[in-house]
């Protein structure tokens, strides 16, 4: 499984989204998420970092 990774502009929290067939739907949901770490509002907050192959255990996920 690959993940699309977003980063919070404010605190650097990483958000992982599984790269599956409904990826675009999931990205639509990410654009409505407050940051779970610092509570920053979602508008323009999430920066696309890129693809990663593995989910790091210590990070929170989007699912």
- Beta strand ranges found along the chain (DSSP E): 3-8, 14-18, 46-52
**Please, what is the minimum distance in Å from the beta carbon of residue 45 to Zn ion?**
7
Strand order, beta sheet including 3-8: 14-18, 3-8, 46-52
4 to 43: interface string for Zn ion, x by CB under 5 A: ----x-xx-x---------------------x-xx-x---
Angstrom distance (rounded) from CA 6 to CA 44: 12
User: Measured from the CB atom, is 2 or 27 closer to Zn ion?
Assistant: 27
Site residues, Zn ion (CB under 5 A): 8, 10-11, 13, 35, 37-38, 40
């Amino acid at each position: 499984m690959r993940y699309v990774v977003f980063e919070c502009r404010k605190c650097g929290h990483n958000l992982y989204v599984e790269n599956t067939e409904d990826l675009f739907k999931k990205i639509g949901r990410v654009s409505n998420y407050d940051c779970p770490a610092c509570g920053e509002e979602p508008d323009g907050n999430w920066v696309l970092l890129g693809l990663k192959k593995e989910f790091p255990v210590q990070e929170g996920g989007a699912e």
